[in-house]
Structure 1
């Protein structure tokens, strides 16, 4: 398939190197621990052979255990030194492992409960939380003392539960899914948060609920069917301790059937099995409307639903050529886990779902909305800079100026927030001795385009664009509008590019409106480029005048032989009576213009008469040779 077509057609893909494991069969069961992202392939027989593969670090563990019955759930502790196994409704086994990653079954501890145990999660290397029909209880494992000690419990009737390993929060369902209670599970601690009451007509089952983190905030996402049989996802955010989950966002799916969700770089990906397509939602993008009553923002898919990029899987073969098969996407054998994991137990593959940002750039035609989207993506900066470069390249249209201006303001507003945060951080460090800090730092945006990024990633590559001057003015004015001083290095690089490309009118325009960071070094740098065009020298002098850098102006004028103009300026400066006569006479002499020398000589003679009553120069002024030169001019009647 042509690469360009491919890029435009698919905006989701599966990771190129899946984790491979033994597929489900009559003898093999597969389990997945989403907390440690480990796949357990459990092969039954005379003994139970177990192969554990990690989706994060590539570590594999293989061992055998006595077949003690069908396994329902299996998970390692954080250090892989204790294996928890549930085989029936009321008990869980805890098997320690030795230094060779092999089970020490004789040292096994068993918890035997009275209530149905729905599942368990590790909260520490030797602490595990059991969720049962009667609530949540955390146990401390001590293999030396052969004890399982209860260290914390919460009594609450539970129908089912869901768990988010990213932030260790569980959702406990009561009253047939109409009351949902979030709890935070940590070492020896169970923190019960305000519950979410859905109402008798809105109860949900565990398969309709997905827990995740969106932009660092815990989220409860509930799949709900509307009266027209279409579905939507209602997102409740847990904005802080003591605050009840708030109905904040609604994702309109516009279809019916079976759905499943992933979170890919904070983008909610909703997979629809019937159409074999996926929809993208970003709650950071403003919605078109809000729901009456709740104020929840209603979101439509960012772009029309598309299928995941087709995937070809290599299969074992005795031939050198190998064999490949086309994977059945959106298969009924797919099981999804958060944040972005897809498991096909029949094929024996675990993939990560990935965003193809370059493809999205071709599909999202609203450039401002695209920029907003890319600003929230972890790898968004290089793609964003390419988008900006394309917008301002040779294909640029003047009608894009308002859009470019809005984008600059968006980028620089975020840039300013980072600068303010840095300033607040410095002030906070200075005030550490105080009892409390009055200011709270804002979260740092994910992608920041500073002045260096704008120059190296965009402006330096579009110097042949006719509208460069307008674009630079928009950017520099945007900096000023957001209270940001143009970077001296950025100003210097802009000057270099404009002079190299002979865009002197653009340079003059930028200097006229003081858009660049004017400074004495920049003015002197301009002077060093004055050979490129006579107008540059005047631009530099004008800048120095605005900076009141009269001393430098005098030096420049003397160097250029404009001695009379230098004297005119010097007379208006403080200390005009102490001007060094030799310096100005020498500059006048170098012009080889007798009239210029005569004018300067007469100026200093008049000053001497006014200050000392005599036109003569003092000995320490070292003007003897210029006095002789003046007399020669007079005697030869050159004046």
Structure 2
């Protein structure tokens, strides 16, 4: 189910200086732009940045000013940071040269303290994290200068930057267990509430940066921390702390994911699935917290081994000790000189998840799996592998996702207030017409499917639409009526109409009238709907077509409507002489009052 290498890119492996060529190659991963950056001979032989996208390559040359400790590109790819000194960085203008090499300028920290990390906030802003402060600099590319915009004092041991929200999480405290989040937005810092995390090791050890991951999970910013058992340093679980939208509220632990093994771990968050890789057992554990959102403790939903993608030749080595993993789905093999993308093959989920209701719910939460959801749901319904309560839950989820998707597309003005900005959830959007064409009509046309079961399934979907206040389309109502009629569930149909579970409409009224022979009470229900729709002419036509001429005349009298005398007379011709006499007398009496038209 996990596949590595469907998309990949090769880069030059790292080499140390040797006596023959004297060349040195260094590689750095830019975790914001998802590019592998290669620096050859300190930049004198060139710097290159590659992503997994085809032909996405940035190249330049710089002067040799010493070996860099890191390289990071600006969001637009026009500038690069090279850190060659402990308290300053060089800004490289990749598209501007002074002949053979790119133009660059140096930016030192204001405090002259050692740099713990440096990141791009925007195309012209960088953020320094030092041991004593945060420093936000604005860059002027034309003047090749930098200006301090903001500083904030904080005692830091290490930090993690989450670019989507311009969020930096700083580790403080004696054991680095107090995490202090900051937002670097709109040219200023916003200090969020700090929070303490558990990581389970003895008091003389510190929480390490490698054991902490900041990610977006189902529309929430989360901090994930590997917690170790004090005895024997056995990893017991992965704690997930959720940062609330209210910036004045501290993060709280939301979930605990049980791992149950020790050793080296790597973590990815792909399509809101938490994938924990264990190098020792060469297995990967997949967690989906959405399947039980109110449960604090979760066990792996699936435990599988990564498979090499058939399109990647030669096949990649798997679970090698030197793998480096980056969010959301990047695996870098520095020895092989390859960067791979890890993908989740949802079309093979049925091989690992055998309980059908859970399988379909899992697929509903995935991005871009509409057709797979519909196909799996139809197959399960035809095989009667789902109970009615499970069908109800799945339909509730489908309609809920449809309702939520309607609000995602509204692009309001960007707020000037600092706020957390998680990755928006792409809710599965299945229209009613798609449910009809892909689920309900095939069920009705399948001769092996019980008609009462089909009717019950459609009623469950109707119930879900009402629960989430989604307007029911007329064509689906016709299908419901037809399914109930085919299954002989006339009593249910009559109740739906009587209690107005089915919305009134003229097409529905005429459909009910057509089932009068099977259930006489539906005739009156159809007429009542027409009356509520104020369709007086249609009511008269219905009564006359069925030979209820006297009833039609009475209805005209009660509604005080001008009657068409020719229609009444034509209808009376089909009746006995008593009815004909009554109609004629009635017409003469009302004609004298000028209430009839002779058209």
Which TM-score bucket, shorter chain as reference?
0.7 to 0.9
TM-score, normalised to structure 2's length?
0.82
Deviation at 1:15, TM superposition (A): 4.9
Corresponding residue to 2:315 among 320, 326, 334: 326
Deviation of 1:579 (Å): 4.4
Per the alignment, residue 577 of structure 2 pairs with: 598
- Aligned with 1:600: secondary structure? helix
Q: CA deviation at 1:414?
A: 5.2
* Shift, 1:416, TM fit: 5.8
Shift of 1:538: 8.4
Give 1:89's aligned residue: 86
Distance in 2 of aligned mates of 1:343 and 1:380: 28
CA 102–588 in structure 1, closer or farther in 2 if over 3 Å, else same: farther
Give the aligned partner of residue 318 of structure 1. none
Residue aligning to 1:134: 132
Deviates more, 1:253-262 or 1:118-127: 118-127
Q: Is the 8 A contact 1:98 1:104 kept in 2?
A: no
> 1:275, CA displacement in angstroms?
1.2
TM-score normalised according to structure 1 size: 0.77
**Aligned equivalents of 1:449, 1:576: Cα separation in 2:** 47
Deviation at 1:610, TM superposition (A): 6.1
Partner of 2:304: 306
- Rounded to whole Å, the distance in 2 between the matches of 1:287 and 1:608 is 71
Instruction: Please tell me whether the aligned partners of residues 252 and 301 of structure 1 are also in contact (alpha carbons under 8 angstroms).
Output: yes
| Structure 1 Cα separation of the partners of residues 365 and 292 of structure 2 | 13
1:80 corresponds to 2:85: no
- Give the SS at the match of 1:284: helix
**SS at 2:457 equivalent:** helix
- 2:458 is aligned to 472
Q: Deviations over 1:484-506 (max 9, x none)?
A: 553213223556x759xx93736
| Structure 2 partner of 1:52 | 49
Which stretch has the larger CA shift, 157-166 or 101-110? 101-110
Answering whether residue 222 of structure 2 is matched by residue 232 of structure 1, we say: no
Q: 1:120 aligns with which of 105, 109, 118?
A: 118
**Are 2:441 and 1:460 equivalent residues in the alignment?**
yes
Alignment of 1:286-435 (within 5 A): 286=292, 297-303=296-302, 305-312=303-310, 324-393=313-382, 395-396=383-384, 400-413=387-400, 415=402
Q: Give SS of 1:262's match.
A: strand
Q: 1:544 aligns with which of 527, 539, 549?
A: 527
Deviations 1:6-36 (A, max 9, x none): xxxxx22235121222233344221111111
Where structure 1 has 5 or more consecutive residues not aligned to the other structure, the ranges are: 1-10, 290-296, 315-323, 430-442, 624-639
Shift of the 584–15 alpha-carbon distance from structure 1 to 2, 3 Å rule, reads farther
Q: Match of 1:328, SS?
A: coil
Q: How many Å apart are 1:94 and its aligned residue?
A: 1.6
2:21 aligns with none
Match of 2:211 among 202, 208, 211: 208
Structure 2 counterpart of 1:280: 286
Larger Rg: 1
Q: Which residue of 2 aligns with 1:197?
A: 196
Q: 1:241 to 1:172 in 2, by over 3 A?
A: same
Contact 2:8–2:339 (CA under 8 A) maintained in structure 1? yes
- Give distance in 2, aligned partners of 1:110 and 1:279: 43
Please, which of 251, 259, 269 is the counterpart of residue 257 of structure 2?
A: 251
Residue 418 of structure 2 aligns with which residue?
none
CA contact (8 A) 2:241 2:251 kept: yes
Distance 2:107 2:399 in 1: 59
Once residues 131 and 582 of structure 1 are traced to their aligned partners in structure 2, the CA distance between those partners, rounded to angstroms, is 92
Larger RCO (CA under 8 A, 6+ residues apart) = 2
Equivalent residue for 1:222, pick from 214, 218, 225? 225
Which residue in the other structure is 2:473 paired with? Answer: 487
- CA deviations over 1:17-66 (Å, ceiling 9, x no partner): 21222233344221111111121122228933222113357421222223
- 8 Å contact kept, 1:367–1:403: no
Q: Using a 3 Å threshold, how does the CA distance of structure 1 residues 77 and 611 change in structure 2: closer, same or farther?
A: closer
**For residues 333-353 of structure 1, what are the alpha-carbon distances to aligned partners after superposition, in whole Å with 9 as ceiling and x for unaligned?**
311111221111222222222
What is the CA distance between 1:268 and its match in structure 2?
A: 1.1
Q: Report how far residue 263 of structure 1 moved.
A: 0.8
- The aligned runs of 1:563-582 (5 Å cut-off) are 563=547, 565-573=548-556, 574=558, 579-582=563-566
Which secondary structure does the structure 1 equivalent of 2:32 belong to? coil
1:177–1:101 Cα change, 3 Å: farther
Question: Would the alpha carbon gap of residues 182 and 506 (structure 1) be closer, same or farther in structure 2, given more than 3 Å must change?
Answer: same
Q: 1:490 to 1:507 in 2, by over 3 A?
A: farther
Tell me the CA shift for residue 482 of structure 1.
4.8
Contact kept? 1:13, 1:356, Cα under 8 Å = yes
> Residues 126 and 457 of structure 1: is their aligned pair in 2 closer, same or farther, counting only changes over 3 Å?
same
Residue 154 of structure 1 corresponds to: 152
Alignment size in residue pairs: 559
Instruction: Provide, for residues 271-324 of structure 1, a one-character-per-residue CA deviation record: whole Å limited to 9, x for no partner.
Output: 1111111111223332685xxxxxxx1111123x1011233565xxxxxxxxx4
Relative to structure 1, is the Cα distance of residues 65 and 311 closer, same or farther in structure 2, using a 3 angstrom cutoff? Answer: same
Unaligned segments of structure 2, at least 5 residues:
17-23, 414-423
Pick closer, same or farther for the CA change 1:578–1:72 going to 2, 3 Å.
closer
Tell me: CA distance 1:60–1:70, structure 2 relative to 1, closer, same or farther (3 Å).
same
Q: Report the Cα distance in structure 2 between the residues aligned to 1:103 and 1:245, rounded to whole angstroms.
A: 51
Asked if structure 2 preserves the Cα contact closer than 8 Å seen for 1:158 and 1:173, the reply is yes
Correspondences of 1:518-533 after superposition (within 5 Å): 518-524=504-510
- Secondary structure of the residue aligned to 2:318 is coil
